[in-house]
Amino acid sequence: MSEGKKQRVLILCTGNAARSPMAEGLLRHDAGDRFEVLSAGVQPCKVRPEAIAVLQELGIDLSQHRPKHVDEFAGQRFDYVLTVCDHARETCPVFPAQTRTIHHSFVDPGTFPGSEEERLARFRKIRDEIRAYLRAFPPEP
């Protein structure tokens, strides 16, 4: 990384609907201007309203998040690519050698059945797990 430039981080999950947009919002919020943070999916779909709601509880606005396909970032330089689900890790495109790819799988909160309050509780749990994980980012080499 050249001096004065923000490190670029791409966060990937399957749909870019819950885990990766929550991680993008959390890292952007908690790390300040240290990183340029983006997220995408390998099969993008609509952002889950529960993800928007549980980040709004922290003052983080995801309401304008547009799910993106990882191919939108083909050929771009990233310092880190974080995969937050096993499917994204298995289907993640190859990035240049200088890109550090890091994997940590989080349960997909969107697959959890139950009442709205039970689903929100699951999203909060995953949000908090992702936040705790990102607090140690970037890891030591």
Given 27, 82, 85, 120, which residue is catalytic?
85
pLDDT tier for residue 87 given thresholds of 50, 70 and 90: confident
How much is the pLDDT for 1?
45
* Pairwise CA distance, residues 21 & 24, whole Å: 5
Q: Which of 13, 27, 37, 47 is catalytic?
A: 13
45 classed as catalytic: no
Q: Which of 31, 53, 60, 92 is catalytic?
A: 92
Instruction: Single out the residue of 24, 20, 58 nearest to residue 41, CA to CA.
Output: 20
- Residue 112 binned pLDDT confidence (cut-offs 50, 70, 90): confident
Domains and CATH numbers, the chain: 7-135 (3.40.50.2300)
Does residue 117 or residue 3 have the better pLDDT? 117
User: How far is it, in rounded angstroms, from Cα 38 to Cα 12?
Assistant: 9
Segment holding 82, helix H or strand E: strand 80-83
How far is Cα 40 from Cα 15, in angstroms, rounded to an integer?
Answer: 8
Percent of the chain topping pLDDT 70: 94
